[in-house]
Amino acid sequence: MTKYQKISDWCILADETDKSMLDHARTRIQDCRWHDGYVDDIIIPYFLTSNRRTVIDVGASYGWMAVSFAKYFDKVKCFEIREDVRHALRENTSRFSNVEVFDCGLSDSKKNVKLRSRTSSGTSIIRRKCVVEDKHPDFPEGDDILGSAIEVSTGPLVNTLDSYNFNNVDCIKLDVEKHEYYALLGAMETIKKWKPVLIVEISYTKKRDLRYFKPRQRIFKLLHSLDYQIVDIRSHDFIFASRSL
């Protein structure tokens, strides 16, 4: 049986080892200002000053950003691939009538996947195929890159964002540990239709070598093809906005 702990009024896995999460949980949910007020002080006043209808929180974790989103948006749709974390997420967001939690993660197709769960829950990662890049037009010949998720008969479920046909989507936040590109592929029609502000974690920024360069370029090229531009960078979080707005 999965064990949980209470820190102030947050429900957290008993074996959680992420220090920033454990420290932040000491602040009560109603006073949550995850990452120094990222939602309240930057996202809302600078990039979402008008429409705040529906926000999609992909990789919602324990609800660190969802509880802030709930104060500003009409609807908050949360996706979290880990079932044990999802239980805590539901507990932590239960006071907000506008938050809905879905029982899957997001990717480029619907399937069961292989997940490497870690006690530092935010670093859990979907296992992916290794593909040869000489068959991929976007990259130089001869290098390898991780492809889409490995499909298995039993395992956590992923689906596409487009399959939900959400309306009035004004913001999508993606933090899925190097699976952001594939989550974006599954959200293309939603992005084209609603032109939401995109908050995308891109962790391939630590080093200069080619293996880090190419995965982030793949995301940039995809969003450039949708007429999006980078409007801010905060550590690993990139904010993109449509040029047509």
**Residue 127 or residue 56, greater confidence:** 56
* Residue 229 pLDDT greater than 50, yes or no: yes
Average pLDDT over residues 68-95: 98
Report how far apart the first and last C-alpha atoms of the chain are (Å, whole number): 49
* Assigned CATH class of 38-242: alpha beta
* Residue 3 pLDDT greater than 80, yes or no: yes
Rg (CA), the chain: 18
Structural domain boundaries of the chain? 38-242
Query: How many angstroms separate the CA atoms of 82 and 119, rounded?
Result: 12
Identify the H or E element spanning 226: none
Name residues whose C-beta falls within 8 Å of residue 235's C-beta, 6 or more positions apart in sequence. none
Average pLDDT over residues 149-164: 94
Question: Within 13 Å and on the Cβ side, how many CA atoms surround 205?
Answer: 13
Query: How many angstroms separate the CA atoms of 183 and 179, rounded?
Result: 6
Over residues 172-225, the pLDDT tens digits come to 999 999 899 999 999 999 999 999 999 999 976 666 767 778 888 889 999 999
- At residue 74, the 3 state secondary structure works out as coil
Range scoring the smallest mean pLDDT among 36-45, 145-154, 231-240: 145-154
* Residue 134 pLDDT greater than 50, yes or no: no
Is 106 in contact with 159 (CB distance < 8 Å)? yes
Residues shown for the chain? 245
| One-letter amino acid for residue 140 of the chain | P
Confidence label for 144 from pLDDT (cuts 50, 70 and 90): very low
Over residues 84-131, the pLDDT tens digits come to 999 999 999 999 999 999 999 999 999 999 999 999 999 999 988 776
Backbone angles phi, psi at 188, to 5 degrees: -60, -45
* Residue 152 pLDDT greater than 80, yes or no: yes
